[in-house]
Structure 1
């Protein structure tokens, strides 16, 4: 690989890392080409960029980004997964793949500039995703007006029952 190709890889990875809200470094030692292709396909479906890159190039590319703190931890063979919208989606995708393949592991990550160790990344994978959280908040917000309407509907209903009982009582007399 010549100097120009390396510069292009650094520039592309730097641009992606600048946009990413989360970066997770993984170990892929022992994975076959078919397993790596399967992992990349799952990452693509989740809207994640997964790239195997040399450590020196990754260190240069991650400088001056939120994920610059990862540079000092890059050792041995590793790949970088970058997520843009939902950080939990990236962690869940990698954790699900790791359950099915024991050779694959997540090493560490960076969430909006904060370093996450392996346990932190795994804990992030257990959290509900962004759509699940939004639906939960929406359900909570809708519960208050719905309960308020039901309360007044019950008051009207009881008043109507009382009027009907008085009418029935007067008709019987």
Structure 2
């Protein structure tokens, strides 16, 4: 008898392991407070949307989670627990759980697994507000039904971006060309070397000194000229007087008989 119990227990664990392996998502909920009618109502909602929903014993759930390496499940196994499993739509069960809780103020989610990610009870509302698989498929079909419009829009964006890039490249090249021309102009007028600057400075100083001396020399020359002129006049006068005296003496000299 005990052996049969152990075998059935192992079978239940294996079945649960297989279900959880195939699931795209599963939700572990606490159904405390629900009566039989409410439980049946909730079960029909899941079944009508192709989701599994069943109550499981904590020992079975613990053993299955250990086999799968789901340590997160072991941390929340207390009280009474049920599991909802989805094999296609990962968000659908969350919508049913959130809707039922809003109506009855009963049924709380403990933990959920969605395609490799774990979420806590605080995330149930965010998950429930996500678009369902049908809505996402409808949006995808709308996109696929208008490939021409999308292609035209895409090509227009590509052309606009390409033109914008060309304009930016052109602006950069014009700027570089202008800077290159300025550099060439600067090179054509080289600055004088240090020796040339010093030589130019010396020439300027000599020129300044010469300009300061020229007025003084000019003045001295003028004075010399003025002094020289009376002397020449005096000498001429003396020569004239000497000549006149000589002629007078000649006239006064008696003739010899």
- Tell me if TM exceeds 0.5: yes
- Separation in structure 2 between the aligned mates of residue 65 and residue 20 of structure 1, nearest angstrom: 13
Task: Look up the SS of the partner of 1:29 in the other structure.
Answer: coil
Whether 2:144 is the aligned partner of 1:141: answer yes
- Separation in structure 2 between the aligned mates of residue 84 and residue 113 of structure 1, nearest angstrom: 13
Task: Look up the SS of the partner of 2:75 in the other structure.
Answer: helix
Shift of 1:4: 2.6
Check whether the contact 1:25–1:81 (CA below 8 A) recurs between aligned residues: yes
Shift of 1:39: 0.8
Pick the structure with greater CA Rg. Answer: 2
Q: Which of 2, 6, 23 is equivalent to 1:3?
A: 6
Shift of 1:124: 1.1
Q: Which runs of 5+ in 2 are unaligned?
A: 153-257
Greater share of helix residues, 1 or 2? 2
Q: Which runs of 5+ in 1 are unaligned?
A: 150-173
Matches for 1:1-173 after TM superposition, within 5 Å? 2-65=5-68, 69-146=72-149
Shift of 1:66: 7.7
Aligned length: 149
Greater share of strand residues, 1 or 2? 1
1:163 corresponding residue in structure 2 = none
- Separation in structure 1 between the aligned mates of residue 62 and residue 28 of structure 2, nearest angstrom: 12
2:243 corresponding residue in structure 1 = none
Structure 1: 4+ residue segments shifted above 4 A: 146-149
Shift of 1:148: 7.2
1:161 corresponding residue in structure 2 = none
Query: What's the TM-score once normalised by structure 1's chain length?
Result: 0.76
CA RMSD of aligned residues (A): 2.2
